[in-house]
Amino acid sequence: MVEVKVDTLELNMYIDGQWTKSSNNDMRSVINPATGEEIARASEGTVEDAKKAIQAARNAFDTGVWSEVPATERANFLLKVADKIDEHAEELARLETLDNGKPLREAEADIADAAACFRYYAGIVTKPDGETYHVADPMQAMVVREPVGVCGLIVPWNFPLLMSVWKLAPALAAGNTVVFKPSEVTPITPTKLFEIFEEAGLPKGVANMVMGAGNIVGDAITESPDVDMISFTGGTKTGKHIMKKAADTMKKVSLELGGKSPNIIFADADFEVAVDFALFGIYCGAGQVCSAGSRILVEESIYERFVNRFAERAKQIKVGSGLAEGTEMGPLVSQQHLEKVLNYIEIGKEEGARVICGGNRITENGYDKGYFVEPTAFVDVDQNMRIVQEEIFGPVAVIQKFRTEEEAIQLANGTKYGLAGAVFSNDGTKALRVIKKLRSGITWINSYHPTYNEAPWGGYKESGIGRSLGTYGFDEFQEIKQININLQVEPVQWFEK
Ligand code: NDP
């Protein structure tokens, strides 16, 4: 396997407009998951660092350096950032692949989406954003939107830049100040984004980045009375922890969490299209995608044919370093995550499920230093197995059989999650009927995965609270205030003189 060497980068935090080392000078190694080699060293933030960042964001918000500038000025900043992302797209994509492991073509799409997200919110922020109501004379009622204040933004490692941007673009557009924490596993492109913010002239203290462990820095942000809101993307377990902690200071929370999403394939679907999207649904991003179609539900009459064709094609997927030409699926993000996914494969076998493709770590021909797993699928599963109920977050699908529309819906809704789901059928009425029954926030008919800045992203049930993207995602970062104006100023005379 050919791997490109890079000089080790040094990454620091960005607090109150300064590039800052950790208060105790600790650094953490950042690893290329394709080779196991160190590619960067990142400052490992402390509670003290988090507090400094929170204070800087608080001061910047309270002095109005960002919330009080005209919306057009904030829009211009977002547009400048988008242009700079485009300018550096090649470098950003390469760094994303080195850090996360995803194939370059996936990283390139993420970088383009990140620039588009800044442009989208640059447009939204200059549009009308209030309401007036005709209430009892002489009163005039109006509703205005205001920034929430200091927002704590915490993101995972699977889309290091894009997940950061889904939060930073709307939060900054709305006039908030932020304390942002990337995953300790993938801090490289988020740091580059903060370099871009600096170049684009963001006033100091408006956007602060603290690195470090979730249970130290993340907790410090969530607990702080000076933080008004937490917007978090990550695992459901962490989301629950954050929600409980945030309750002590009654913070607003927005949580984008895990999933175990069903992909329902009816016998009347276009067979090859359905197989193709089923592969894309689970193996894109090596399955490390919150909305991955990890439960494939197939109608009985085409089940055997589907399983055979799916396995045949899964075995042909080219797994390798994200930078190598022709790679279709990269490694898992870390040694720790590799162990988690391999452990789930063992659990599946112990539960009595049958592997029809993959099922192993790849170690030959120089792959042994990286965290590669074969595209894997299980059959002979039943609904209460752990591999059906729990999020594996790797290239592991379960393929289940259903007989009726009702059974498909029941199986599809039969987990604690409710993030995404799809239906493949050439009967449009049936497809829509089934989609409407899914308890999921993101759905597709005859497709899987595409999503757009305009449309809200988020889950039902234990997949989260609130929405990212679209106008709904913008609303999350705003408070709503009613203002009642008396147009005839005279005493109310409720009490006698
Ligand atoms: P985690 O929940 O482990 O971590 C996510 C982020 O939370 C990281 O920055 C992590 O920090 C931080 N964190 C960890 N503990 C705490 C804490 N106590 N307080 C505050 N922050 C904390 O998830 P993963 O990084 O493993 O990401 C994978 C998960 O993210 C999957 O479940 C996936 O489904 C979900 N996800 C959901 C999406 C959605 O839109 N619904 C999109 C993408 C992913 P650190 O890593 O530095 O310790």
Taking only the tens place, the pLDDT of each residue in 164-188 is 999 999 999 999 999 999 999 999 9
Task: Give phi and psi for 456, each to the nearest 5.
Answer: -70, 140
Q: With contact defined as beta carbons under 8 Å apart, do 56 and 26 qualify?
A: no
Catalytic site residue 284?
A: no
Name the residue at shortest CA distance from atom 18 of ligand 1.
Answer: 215
Mutate which of 290, 294, 451, 457 for ligand 1? The one with the most ligand atoms within 8 Å of its CB, which is 290
Residue 494, classified by CB atoms within 10 Å of its CB into exposed (0-12), middle (13-18) or buried (19+), is: exposed
As a whole number, mean pLDDT of residues 318-347 equals 98
For residues 86-101, average pLDDT: 98
Complete DSSP assignment for 281-315: HHHGGGG--TT---EEEEEHHHHHHHHHHHHHHHT
CA distance 75 to 169: 10
At 253, the pLDDT band (50, 70, 90 cuts) reads very high
CA-184 nearest atom, ligand 1? 47
Whether residue 7 is predicted with pLDDT greater than 80 in this model: the reply is: no
**What is the structure's pLDDT at 46?**
98
Query: From the alpha carbon of 181, which atom of ligand 1 is closest?
Result: 9
CA of 212 to the centre of ligand 1 (A): 13
Q: How far is the CA of 161 from the centre of ligand 1 (A)?
A: 14
Determine the average pLDDT of the residues in 343-352: 98
What pLDDT is recorded for position 5?
Answer: 54
Question: Which is the catalytic residue, given 256, 299, 374, 476?
Answer: 256
What DSSP state is assigned to residue 83?
Answer: H
Rounded to the nearest whole angstrom, what is the distance from the C-alpha of residue 234 to the centroid of ligand 1? 3
The whole-angstrom separation of Cα 238 and Cα 215 is 9
**pLDDT band, residue 327 (cuts 50/70/90):** very high
Cα distance between residue 192 and residue 161, in whole Å: 9
Centre of ligand 1 from the C-alpha of residue 446, in Å: 30
Indicate if the pLDDT at residue 159 is higher than 70. yes
Q: Between 405 and 6, whose confidence is greater?
A: 405
Task: Reply yes or no on whether the pLDDT at 1 is more than 50.
Answer: no
pLDDT confidence of residue 2 = 43
- pLDDT per residue as tens digits for the range 196-224: 999 999 999 999 999 999 999 999 999 99
Atom 13, ligand 1: residue with shortest CA distance:
214
Catalytic residue among 151, 284, 290, 357: 290
What is d(CA 190, CA 163) in angstroms, rounded to the nearest whole number? 9
Task: Write the pLDDT tens digit of every residue in 357-416.
Answer: 999 999 998 899 999 999 999 999 999 999 999 999 999 999 999 999 999 999 999 999
pLDDT at 87 over 70: yes
d(CA 463, ligand 1 centre) in Å: 12
In the three-class reduction of DSSP (H, G, I as helix; E, B as strand; rest coil), residue 208 is classed as: strand
The first and second tokens of residue 330, run together, are 């990269």
Block residue for tokens 């692949």: 97
CA distance 108 to 102: 10
The mean pLDDT of the chain is: 97
CA distance 290 to 420: 9
Give me ligand 1 centre to Cα 238, in Å. 7
What is the Å distance from ligand 1's center to 256 Cα? Answer: 9
Q: Torsions phi, psi of 331, nearest 5?
A: -80, 175
Nearest-CA residue for ligand 1 atom 16 is 214
Q: What is the pLDDT of residues 258-300, one digit of tens each?
A: 999 999 999 999 999 999 999 999 999 999 999 999 999 999 9
Minimal-distance CA residue to ligand 1 atom 39: 256
Helix, strand, coil distribution of the chain in percent, nearest 5? 40, 20, 40
Ligand 1 atom nearest residue 211's Cα: 47
> What is the Å distance from ligand 1's center to 214 Cα?
8
Protein residue closest via CA to atom 34 of ligand 1: 258
pLDDT above 80 for 315:
yes
Kindly report the protein residue whose alpha carbon is nearest to atom 12 of ligand 1: 214
CA dihedral 435, 439, 442, 446 (to 10 degrees): -20
* Cβ 153 vs Cβ 179: under 8 Å: yes
**Ligand 1 pocket test: which of 46, 154, 224, 332 has the largest number of ligand atoms within 8 Å of its C-beta?**
154
Residue with CA nearest ligand 1 atom 42:
290
Mean pLDDT of 341-356: 98
339 given a catalytic annotation: no
Work out the percent of the chain whose per-residue pLDDT is above 90: 97
Distance, in Å, from the CA atom of 52 to the CA atom of 204, rounded to the nearest integer, reads 13
Q: Picking from 108-122, 426-440, 456-470, 483-497, which range would have the lowest pLDDT averaged per residue?
A: 483-497
Residues with Cβ within 6 A of ligand 1? 154-158, 163, 181, 183-185, 213-215, 218-219, 222, 233-235, 238, 241-242, 256-259, 290, 391, 393, 419, 459, 464
Cβ–Cβ < 8 Å for 202, 194:
no
Q: Is the pTM of this model over 0.85?
A: yes
Following DSSP, what letter does each residue of 367-383 receive, concatenated? GGGS--B--EEEES--T
Residue 6 confidence (pLDDT) above 70: no
For residue 465, list its beta bridge partners.
Answer: 255
Confidence band (pLDDT; 50, 70, 90) for 8?
A: confident
Nearest one of 286, 295, 302, 287 to 264, comparing CA atoms: 295
